Amino acid sequence: MGEKIGMWSQMVGTPLRQYYINANGIRTRILEAGEGEPLIFIHGTGGHLEAYARNISGLSENFRVIAYDMVGHGFSDKPDRSYTIDYLSDHLISVAKGLGLETFSLSGESLGGWVAAWTAAHHPEFVNKLILNTPGNITNKLEVMKQVKDSTVKAVMEATYENVRTRLEWLFHDKGFVTDELIAIRYKIYTQPEFKKAVHHIVCLQDWDIRKDFAWGPEWCGQIKSPTLLLWTDNDPTGTLEEAQLLKSWIPGSMLYVIGDAGHWPQWEKAGEFNDIHRTFIREGSY
């Protein structure tokens, strides 16, 4: 079973800053630590910056690590509109500009990987290295889209600790990593009054009529110029290793690394290995 991970115990002793910036009109929550080359982490659907609680301290020894709540997520603003990939990408660029960054490396998990890849394809001048961490359902499997949508909406509209636990456990190969603390943080986020409207905007990409305009494919993936690492796992409920190979064929020169015995959140289940591969790839462009 997974360790009983406490978020603060992972970061204790590390100089941290949690604050808000105005990113083109969106009040956005930021957590950062460290100095040097910027590394921006982007969480997944319905997620929040605490998804990287196990990675910030270790990687802040080498990089300026920045995690943020995407627009509509966490404790950032939740405007009344669909949170499409281009909108989430524009918000990311606004965050980077608000932080005074000219270039940066990106590591995105699930939806965050989709946003990171889209940004690298459409704003290549900003992105140094690109890591796509379990970027999810790249072949648009209907059953996965339904699972993501239904479980996320239920966790918000019928917010109980048990429903939030169910949503989180789906992310893990070892369910023991889902602690009461992690559930409590997500429950607090999901019970914000404005979240009941925002959740429907968050899951809009699970509807094909919206998704089709941003679906993964060789046309836009082929525009990615940044050195790219596909970080997969052997127990991801959203994407198979065959899909990893497909995505690898779409992104020129991309590399694939598979983490064993992990699900959709290898940054938690295999934090040491996750940190090591980030450190090596961002420094050297390989692993």
Does residue 1 sit within a domain? Answer: no
Alpha-helical runs (H) found in 60-170: 85-98, 111-122, 142-157, 161-169
In angstroms, rounded to a whole number, what is the distance separating the alpha carbons of residues 75 and 61? 26
Q: Compute how many other C-beta atoms are within 10 angstroms of the C-beta atom of residue 4.
A: 11
Does residue 2 sit within a domain? Answer: no
Encode pLDDT of 72-98 as tens digits: 999 999 999 999 999 999 999 999 999
Read off the pLDDT band of 175 (50, 70, 90): very high
Does residue 99 sit within a domain? Answer: yes
* Joined tokens for residue 110: 């699930």
Q: 260 with 171: CB under 8 angstroms? A: no
Read off the pLDDT band of 3 (50, 70, 90): low
The SS3 of residue 178 is coil
- The DSSP result for 206-234, as a single string, is GSHHHHTTT---HHHHTT--S-EEEEEET
What's the number of domains the chain is made of? Answer: 1
Does residue 29 sit within a domain? Answer: yes
Does residue 186 sit within a domain? Answer: yes
In angstroms, rounded to a whole number, what is the distance separating the alpha carbons of residues 228 and 153? 32
Mean pLDDT to the nearest integer, 15-29: 97
The SS3 of residue 196 is helix
Among 2-6, 27-31, 60-64, 135-139, the least confident range: 2-6
CATH of the domain at 96: 3.40.50.1820
Does residue 266 sit within a domain? Answer: yes
Read off the pLDDT band of 2 (50, 70, 90): low
* Joined tokens for residue 123: 């704003």
In angstroms, rounded to a whole number, what is the distance separating the alpha carbons of residues 175 and 168? 9
Q: Please, which residues bridge with residue 38 across strands?
A: 64
Encode pLDDT of 144-163 as tens digits: 999 999 999 999 999 999 99
pTM of the model as a whole: 0.97
Mean pLDDT to the nearest integer, 178-206: 96
* Domain range enclosing 178: 7-284
Please tell me what DSSP assigns to residue 241: H
Q: Please, which residues bridge with residue 117 across strands?
A: none
Q: Compute how many other C-beta atoms are within 10 angstroms of the C-beta atom of residue 184.
A: 12
In angstroms, rounded to a whole number, what is the distance separating the alpha carbons of residues 66 and 46? 19
Block residue for tokens 């590591």: 107
Does residue 205 sit within a domain? Answer: yes
| Residue 9 confidence (pLDDT) | 83
Does residue 271 sit within a domain? Answer: yes
Read off the pLDDT band of 11 (50, 70, 90): confident
**Helix H or strand E segment including 249:** helix 241-250
pLDDT exceeds cutoff 90 at 201: yes
Whole-number percent of the chain with pLDDT over 70: 99
